[in-house]
């Protein structure tokens, strides 16, 4: 019998959600009414606390492993025997866009409500430049982090965030489905993608640009010229448009959940993130006893380097303890648990049995969740996924990391993303958007200027 996992109802989770509700209300007030005055009583009272609050998105890891890691921290002690300060997770929203707006609103207000931030790796430039983050010193074993992932936490020569988990585009295939090895074949296959109007559309469209002749553009620190936007980026998106109106039409309604359901219900192929593997592995429709009815591999061509980073709020009343918690969550032991028990791809080589000088996907090693936690299995139960299946996922992730590029590094990323995907939708809809208008709008958005296609 395959072991299945359910979210337990316990006092820790209840406290987290109750605390989260209060802080989400504060964030909503900030969005609606503007920054809170420093004399706001709740802020003053919070600033005298010793408890740590960890703000991030909804925990979609299998078995709520992010919460489980924070419980481990709460049960632990420092080397000198002192107990760790208690930490409480605050899940502010499920979508990346809402996470950004709510956490940004609280940080912008100067509130000390949050100590540790779980951030999308595109937020570093904006949050660091605005003074929301503490520069991290003496990051433990820096060379053990995947280099490209670690760089997403840098801004102007300082390290402000470190990887919690990495994300790369993976290709999931059901048994019997033909797996394309090139990008055009993938688009024409009816693969389930994430093309509805949120950050997922930005990600999928960037991958289309990079694999459609625009490699190296709209990535990292490089700033494309308007000519490059007109003559290379725009044509790549125009080339994807017939697929968006044809084989990929259903995907225009899909976010991550919808694409997962489409795949589980019979769609042959799906582009999605690593965490989906473990969720599918425990889904009865996707198993035949201990055997999986699907496989996973690196996405053909270039992919977006996504993921979440850990940072310390500049307004935390306990920055030293907050950095201790960041180091705990990003350490090898926590990263192994996050991978084997939670299904999230780790940010360190060591969590996959690799080393900086030994990076071959063939060397990936993985252990079953129960062997890491010591939690006994019931008679007839088995870990899902098991070690061999986790190793398959690890090999796909390491291979994809060699083809992964970051999204544009700019303090104005949210402006860029909303403008870019608005333009992409108009291109898909044949709304009369020409290359010149596209280039002007995207270029302006990279500077933080409001623009529309």
CA distances from 72 to 77, 184, 330, 345 (A): 10, 46, 13, 19
| Residue ending a domain, choose from 298, 318, 346 | 346
324 part of a folded domain: yes
268 part of a folded domain: yes
Q: How far apart are CA 447 and CA 321, in angstroms?
A: 36
- pLDDT at residue 28, as a whole number: 43
- Classify strands 294-298 and 170-174 as parallel, antiparallel or unpaired: antiparallel
- pLDDT at residue 46, as a whole number: 65
CATH number for position 196: 3.40.190.10
Structural domain count, the chain:
2
Kind plus residue range of the DSSP H or E element containing 192: none
Q: How far apart are CA 130 and CA 107, in angstroms?
A: 9
Could you tell me if 56 and 177 lie in one domain?
no
Could you tell me if 161 and 21 lie in one domain?
yes
- pLDDT at residue 381, as a whole number: 77
Residue by residue, pLDDT tens for the chain (453 residues) are 333 332 222 322 333 333 444 444 444 434 433 433 332 333 344 688 999 999 999 988 888 999 999 999 999 999 999 999 999 999 998 888 899 999 999 999 999 999 999 999 999 999 999 999 999 988 888 999 999 999 999 999 999 999 999 999 999 999 999 999 999 999 999 999 999 999 999 999 999 999 999 999 999 999 999 999 999 999 999 999 999 999 999 999 999 999 999 999 999 999 999 999 999 998 899 999 889 999 999 999 999 999 999 999 999 999 999 999 999 999 999 999 999 999 999 999 999 999 999 999 999 999 999 999 988 877 777 888 999 999 999 999 999 999 999 999 999 999 999 999 999 999 999 999 999 999 999 999 999 998 888
397 part of a folded domain: no
Could you tell me if 36 and 92 lie in one domain?
yes
In this prediction the pTM is 0.88
Could you tell me if 160 and 185 lie in one domain?
no
355 part of a folded domain: no
- pLDDT at residue 25, as a whole number: 43
198 part of a folded domain: yes
Residue 145 β-bridge partners: 348
| Contacts for 318-321: CB closer than 8 Å, 24+ residues apart | 318/50, 318/52, 318/85, 318/115, 319/115, 319/134, 321/50, 321/52, 321/84, 321/85, 321/115
Could you tell me if 101 and 234 lie in one domain?
no
Could you tell me if 21 and 107 lie in one domain?
yes
Could you tell me if 247 and 312 lie in one domain?
no
351 part of a folded domain: no
CA distances from 447 to 201, 435, 443 (A): 21, 19, 7
C-beta separation of 446 from 413 below 8 A: no
378 part of a folded domain: no
Could you tell me if 189 and 83 lie in one domain?
no
Q: How far apart are CA 215 and CA 375, in angstroms?
A: 46
Q: How far apart are CA 211 and CA 431, in angstroms?
A: 24
- Classify strands 170-174 and 116-120 as parallel, antiparallel or unpaired: unpaired
What is the domain extent for residue 335? 11-167+306-346
C-beta separation of 418 from 200 below 8 A: no
Could you tell me if 160 and 218 lie in one domain?
no
- pLDDT at residue 4, as a whole number: 34
Could you tell me if 229 and 324 lie in one domain?
no
| Residue ending a domain, choose from 293, 321, 346 | 346
Question: Could you give phi then psi for residue 73, rounded to 5 degrees?
Answer: -60, -45
398 part of a folded domain: no
Could you tell me if 243 and 329 lie in one domain?
no
Could you tell me if 126 and 186 lie in one domain?
no
């Amino acid at each position: 019998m395959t072991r299945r996992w359910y979210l337990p109802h316990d006092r820790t989770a209840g406290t987290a959600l109750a605390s989260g509700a209060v802080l989400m209300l504060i964030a909503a007030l900030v969005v609606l009414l503007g920054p809170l005055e420093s004399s706001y009583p709740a802020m003053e009272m919070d600033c005298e606390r010793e408890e740590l609050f960890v703000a991030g998105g909804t925990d979609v890891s299998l078995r709520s492993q992010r919460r489980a890691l924070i419980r481990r921290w709460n049960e632990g002690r420092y080397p000198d025997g002192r107990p760790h300060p208690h930490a409480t997770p605050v899940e502010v929203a499920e979508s990346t866009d809402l996470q950004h707006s709510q956490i940004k609103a609280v940080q912008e207000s100067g509130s000390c409500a949050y100590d540790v931030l779980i951030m999308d790796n595109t937020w570093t430039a904006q949050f660091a430049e605005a003074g929301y983050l503490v520069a991290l010193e003496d990051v433990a074993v820096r060379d053990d982090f995947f280099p490209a992932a670690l760089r997403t936490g840098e801004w102007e020569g300082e390290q402000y965030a470190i990887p919690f988990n990495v994300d790369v585009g993976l290709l999931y295939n059901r048994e019997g489905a033909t797996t394309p090895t090139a990008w055009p074949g993938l688009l024409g296959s009816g693969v389930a993608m994430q093309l509805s109007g949120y950050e997922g559309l930005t990600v999928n469209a960037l991958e289309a640009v990079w694999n459609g002749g625009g490699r190296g553009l709209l990535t990292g620190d490089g700033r494309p010229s308007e000519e490059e936007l007109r003559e290379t980026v725009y044509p790549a998106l125009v080339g994807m448009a017939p697929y968006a109106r044809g084989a990929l039409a259903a995907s225009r309604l899909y976010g991550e959940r919808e694409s997962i359901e489409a795949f589980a219900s019979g769609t042959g192929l799906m582009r999605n993130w690593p965490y989906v593997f473990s969720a599918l592995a425990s889904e009865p429709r996707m198993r035949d006893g201990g055997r999986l009815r699907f496989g996973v591999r690196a996405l053909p061509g270039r992919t977006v380097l996504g993921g979440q980073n850990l940072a310390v709020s500049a307004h935390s009343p306990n920055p030293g303890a907050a950095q201790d918690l960041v180091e705990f969550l990003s350490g090898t032991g926590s990263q192994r648990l996050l991978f084997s028990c939670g299904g999230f791809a780790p940010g360190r080589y060591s969590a996959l049995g690799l080393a900086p000088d030994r990076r071959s996907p063939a060397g990936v090693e993985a252990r079953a969740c129960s062997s890491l936690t010591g939690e006994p299995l019931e008679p007839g139960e088995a870990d899902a996924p098991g070690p061999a299946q986790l190793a398959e996922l690890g090999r796909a992730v390491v291979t994809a990391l060699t083809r992964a590029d970051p999204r544009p590094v700019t303090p104005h990323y949210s402006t860029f993303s909303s403008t870019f995907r608005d333009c992409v939708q108009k291109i898909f809809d044949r709304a009369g958007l020409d290359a010149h208008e596209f280039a002007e709008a995207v270029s302006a958005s990279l500077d933080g200027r409001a623009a529309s296609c």
